[in-house]
Structure 1
């Protein structure tokens, strides 16, 4: 019997996933809160433009308010919304998840920490995503990573490999490569380290990842952010996990060796056209996930008794952009240099 699948929060990532699953015959329901995007998907289908392929497919799409009129439950819900929308969306979709169904947080940060208590730990499957995409026009997605460059890690929160994540892996192989892990929490923290290095500081500069990380001062700034995040994770008991499809042997060495591998691999895989999600939020004039990236490192650092001055500073600098008192621009490099000088 085929699984009933919903993609909840179909922005750039959710639309990319939803289009591939539709093309593969899984017939997912795409649920989103952007009215123009939903209407365009209904009437025009979904266009996903990749470096090596252009996909145009009809999709089943509904506005989030339409879900309330449905008499349907799902086996699998793929949550691809922003981290700050996770709690209310989990509460919202809970009645529409079958008793033996499960939700997959295909998001940045450690969303399972606050999603699992809402929907039930046994109904939460962890996921790490490597997929870069952008959506600035309704129903038109610019996907920066090809299918061969897209990667997921799936894992149960309790660490065992189960039939349901093996089945989910087969489904998601329509979108990209999939690995199963017994250390999903470590994998998620490892990705959080990468995001803490790249998302906020590069968003402040208004640059693409490859442009920013070729600037020596920026690269050093990113690595220092990663050092803080690594120290916090170590103190809390997270084990670094090889991600992006790399082997454990490729993810070994000193702390700085691993940080550089983490950063360079992600920047290389997402390509030269990619703009990260925090920068996209700045360009759209909306709230970013910084509180759930660098801000989460700061919060966890306080819990662990580990100082995180640079992560705290870049969080506050990002909030100045959100408040409209600073614009994302390369000239902000001087601010990053000042932070490095003052705090280290």
Structure 2
């Protein structure tokens, strides 16, 4: 079985390194020439909550040859149009494109590579790209998961094979309700990743600020209300049924959620959102695919999403130079009154 990671950034380096460490060959494909050179010369290095290095075979997209059976796809959604068309000639009829991207990326990928090739894989851990060939794992190794599901539904033999590969890194759960687990991951990303990007801080910084955590609570509540209106049954993630546990209608209910947030996100305190990493590099973020998708679904189903909308406005303001990624941006938020 020929394997590849397409998009050898923070998540891609770590996923590929674990697969290689587990004894399987895998190609690291990336557009960053310096990253490809470092991976070939020095191997893939993982630091942070673990520390190891493995040899790596890396190449740029124009150097791809032959057909891949499974491609773990970790390219930013802003580059889908280019990257997927580069990948398409290297997919066979039975090839699987396993997307580890944020948001709900499967429909856009299916349009280019075909729905039958698409497998969704929400990621339950975080990482920071430190430089060419080096990525920092920022989640506790015992608090990491993958969820896996066919875009077209059902449990297939290839899901079982992909599960075996991913479990070289961490526990992997096959999901029949892919949209349900995707929407749960949208909640996970829109809350702490959204606030990390807007405030230029780590997840721990958000947890330690009552004001920032109140923003998170509203973001989550909006996500839950939108999902319910859209008929999405949110699935548990890492043992937490967030769709049930984090919703609120009163101030008392809202204030009672702190222990859940600390238990769920505490192991990921060191994590800095990939969107913030993009902002620090002067790149556009995936905010439209994260908080933006909550707003889009909200408009479609008549559910207000004021705090998600504020996150989108602030992050886009940082992209455009209107704001800086700093914690003082917390003063820009206006939260709905809850009694």
The change in CA–CA distance for 1:105 and 1:265 in structure 2 (over 3 A counts) is: farther
Distance 1:49 1:299 in 2: 37
- Aligned partner (choices 20, 23, 26) of residue 24 of structure 2: 26
* Residue in 2 that maps onto 1:297: 294
> Is 1:168 matched with 2:162?
yes
Aligned residues: 333
Q: 1:207 is paired with a residue of what secondary structure?
A: coil
* Residue in 1 that maps onto 2:8: 10
* Residue in 1 that maps onto 2:335: 340
1:1-344 correspondence to structure 2 within 5 Å: 3-51=1-49, 53-67=50-64, 70=65, 72-244=66-238, 246=239, 252-253=244-245, 255-256=247-248, 263-270=261-268, 272-336=269-333, 339-340=334-335
Question: For each residue in 1:56-94, what CA deviation from the matched residue of structure 2 results, as whole angstroms up to 9, or x when unmatched?
Answer: 111110012322xx2x10110100111222333222211
Partners of 1:194 and 1:263 within 8 A in 2? no
Partners of 2:148 and 2:159 within 8 A in 1? yes
Partners of 1:310 and 1:343 within 8 A in 2? no
Distance 1:184 1:129 in 2: 13
Report the TM-score when normalising by structure 2: 0.92
Distance 1:261 1:168 in 2: 34
Of 297-306 and 36-45, deviating more is 297-306
Distance 1:265 1:251 in 2: 16
Distance 2:310 2:132 in 1: 35
Q: 1:100 is paired with a residue of what secondary structure?
A: strand
Distance 1:283 1:343 in 2: 34
Distance 2:288 2:338 in 1: 20
Question: For each residue in 1:28-67, what CA deviation from the matched residue of structure 2 results, as whole angstroms up to 9, or x when unmatched?
Answer: 111001111111111111111132x311111110012322
Structure 2 unmatched runs, 5+: none
Partners of 1:50 and 1:146 within 8 A in 2? no
Partners of 2:190 and 2:219 within 8 A in 1? yes
The change in CA–CA distance for 1:342 and 1:231 in structure 2 (over 3 A counts) is: closer
Distance 1:97 1:318 in 2: 35
Distance 1:151 1:78 in 2: 15
Distance 1:65 1:210 in 2: 40
The change in CA–CA distance for 1:78 and 1:102 in structure 2 (over 3 A counts) is: same
Partners of 1:298 and 1:312 within 8 A in 2? yes
Report the TM-score when normalising by structure 1: 0.90
Of 84-93 and 295-304, deviating more is 84-93
| Aligned-residue CA RMSD (Å) | 2.2
Structure 1 unmatched runs, 5+: none
Q: 2:155 is paired with a residue of what secondary structure?
A: coil
Distance 1:65 1:260 in 2: 49
Distance 2:311 2:211 in 1: 15
